[in-house]
A and B are shown apart, each in its own frame.
Chain A
């Protein structure tokens, strides 16, 4: 019996040690926290001593293990480093609102200067984000918006109307203006996806698409396995299907993989929004003749500069204000959106066999 008592004690100390080590790796890696010109590794260093007036900006993505999100966080981190602040990058292990609420609570307790969030639900974060704003923390949404009352400004990759219309124009061109196609989206609550799909439906009302039919909107929840099974279900349900539009990086790669594995190259075409590094293979083999994306690094980068501008009180998030964003050209203006205000990054960018090789190593 006595032995077990020791065993328990040892277990507790091991655990404490483990956790303490984990903490050290995370925060103590590089002691350049007071050096504002630090740019590479010093960012994870937290200002525990609290004597430095370094601004701390947090970015909360939808879930971990998402390459698109990692690029966004990378851009955010770069921008924050350039402004001399400290970037905190977080994401829950599952794409849920509960996970994001918990992380935001922890960020509020740390009294960060700003929180930028790519939301898992349009309304679900309102109570916790309102709490953050009441405590003087600047709140932005990026990529996937929260409602106008939960944020000061939203950073939008590109005009949702341009994205929706461009995708329909692309897919109908691929289908030579007739036949069935389906949409493979992320989660049904993803506000950006839903807005693009609305614009796609609006564009489809155009008479020139009379012979084109959108048969179904499927949801892969930005999970690779679910996207794969949804794609297979689409192929089963619609034998005449000519194309799949996936306005999500996880979905388009999963759909392209299924089409490639089933040997359906050229019969079912895939387009949408994808990461060049993940899609290079499928653009080269013809499964996806071309696709679009903005630069997620730039989205994060712009978010970082917007967060800094808010924290430095250069802007307040009101329409009509403008600010500069480091290496990005020109100045960015805050504009009215359907709900609240937003800052637009720009037009979607087309990736095709001619340019994919130069982009696939970038992101």
Chain B
């Protein structure tokens, strides 16, 4: 909150406006589009781009709450396991005779509960770091998922359910519409709302924020629960895409999500960076991966390229933060 008022008090400058990391990401997206269409004749057409968008957006829902969490200097590495657990519970409940609508609600409830438990443990035992707490629940949630399905897969969902994974509204993928709607909501919430500003304040200095009357614990609880709900939404889309689910689904998703947030310019030191950056980063990594896939780059080379991209961008964003301080 403090830093923002200082920034706002400075006069508007075009130079400053164009030097934001978000422009860099937009440039990157343009570069990737140019690269993709020059290396593959199959990229630059509407179907290909919408298909590409559908392949990477499912995990991107978790990016929103993860930005908020990382802005508060916390982290949540249990989100992949939360996806698996809520997906497995949903499939099992449906196969046990629960109507699909109720199974979907149950899925969201399980996600919310997982997230709430993370937040609760963190708030209750302040001396524990978020890495340790969510590492434990990551193992716990995955373990419960394995206990429920015992290494099997479960599916047989009603046909309308596949709409979540494969459906279009007109010519636009449903997942894209929902993602953009949520992105607008989250960007506004993070940048304009009181809650959003309080999150920045917590990230800049938790103790000061507490003294300033910010309800730190309550906010953490809300944000971690939100992460669980978003993981459950991911579970719905992912399960619909596969038509069945297994306990090992969404393996290592947390790392992909954290990578997107880091590329989005969210400083790991907390309090710096914007939601919009992370939203753009989703598309940077997504289209980069898809484009390289179109020229059949081996999986290992893909990892190397994305790793390098992350190192370069994280170094630059952290340099910027240092300079500003």
Residues of A with Cβ closer than 8 Å to B?
A: 1, 4-5, 7-8, 11-12, 14-16, 18-20, 22-23, 26-27, 46, 48, 50, 64-65, 88-94, 96-99, 101-103, 105-106, 108-111, 121-128, 131, 187-189, 219
- Segment at the interface with A among B131-139, B174-182, B193-201, B238-246: B238-246
Q: Which residues of B contact A50 (CB under 8 A)?
A: 41
A101 and B299 within 8 A (CB):
no
Classify the secondary structure of A's interface with B.
helix
Q: Can you list, as one digit per residue, whether each of B285-325 has a CB less than 8 Å from chain A (1) or not (0)?
A: 00011101111111111110100110011001001100100
Closest chain-A Cβ to B4's Cβ sits at a distance in Å of 19
A189 touches B316 (CB 8 A): no
**Interface pair A22/B305, CB less than 8 Å apart:** yes
Let me know if B153 and A189 touch, CB within 8 A: yes
How far, in whole Å, are A128 and B244 apart by their CA atoms in the complex?
A: 12
Given the known interface contacts A64-B300, A98-B249, A109-B51, the answer about A7 and B316 at a Cβ–Cβ threshold of 8 Å is: yes
User: A124 to B153, Cβ gap below 8 A?
Assistant: yes
B303 CB contacts on chain A under 8 angstroms? 93
Contacts of A96 in B (CB 8 A): 248-249, 251
Interface: B28 (CB within 8 A): yes
Question: B91-119: contact bitstring with A at CB < 8 Å (1 yes, 0 no)?
Answer: 00000000000000000000000000000
**Contact B323–A123 (Cβ < 8 Å):** no
Residue-wise, chain B 37-48 has the 8 Å CB interface mask toward A (1 for contact) of 001111100011
Q: Which residue of B lies closest to A110 (CB)?
A: B42
Residues of B within 8 A of A123 (CB): 153, 155, 243-244
Q: Does B166 contact A (CB under 8 A)?
A: yes
* 11 A–B pairs (Cβ distance < 8 Å), ordered by A: A1-B323, A23-B39, A93-B299, A96-B251, A102-B290, A103-B293, A109-B52, A126-B244, A127-B243, A128-B241, A219-B151
Interface residues on B, range: 35 or more
Contact B251 A94 (CB under 8 A): yes
On whether A19 and B299 interact (CB within 8 A), knowing A97-B246, A189-B151, the answer reads: no
Whether B31 pairs with A109 at a CB distance below 8 angstroms is no
Q: CA A99 – CA B55 in complex, angstroms?
A: 10
B147 to chain A, nearest CB (A): 13
Question: Is chain B's binding surface mostly helix, strand, loop or mixed?
Answer: helix
Q: Is there an interface contact between A19 and B35, defined as CB atoms closer than 8 Å?
A: yes
CB atoms of A127 and B319 under 8 A apart: no
A97-B246, A219-B151 are contacts. A27–B35 as well, Cβ < 8 Å?
no
Tell me, yes or no, whether B27 is within 8 Å of chain A by CB: yes
Which of the residues B35, B42, B52, B151 comes within 8 Å of A20, measured between beta carbons?
B35
A126:B42 contact, CB within 8 angstroms: no
Contacts of A131 in B (CB 8 A): 166
With a cutoff of 8 Å between Cβ atoms, the chain B residues found around residue A1 in the complex are 19, 323
Asked if B250 CB lies within 8 Å of chain A CBs, one says yes
Enumerate chain A residues within 8 angstroms of B172, measured Cβ to Cβ.
Answer: none
Give the residue name and chain of the B residue nearest to A48 (CB). Answer: B41
> For chain B residues 1-48, which have a beta carbon within 8 Å of chain A?
19, 24, 27-28, 31, 35, 39-43, 47-48
Which of B152, B241, B250, B323 touches A4 (beta carbons < 8 Å)? B323
Residues of A within 8 A of B205 (CB): none
* A15: chain B residues within 8 A (beta carbon): 28, 31, 308-309, 312
Are the CB atoms of A19 and B292 closer together than 8 Å?
Answer: yes
A93's closest neighbor in chain B, by CB?
B299
- For residue B191, CB closer than 8 A to chain A, the reply is no
Known interface pairs A94-B252, A110-B42, A188-B152; A26-B295 also in contact (CB < 8 Å): yes
Which 10 A-B pairs rank lowest in CB-CB distance, beginning with the nearest? A188-B151, A106-B293, A93-B299, A124-B242, A123-B244, A23-B39, A109-B48, A11-B312, A64-B299, A110-B42
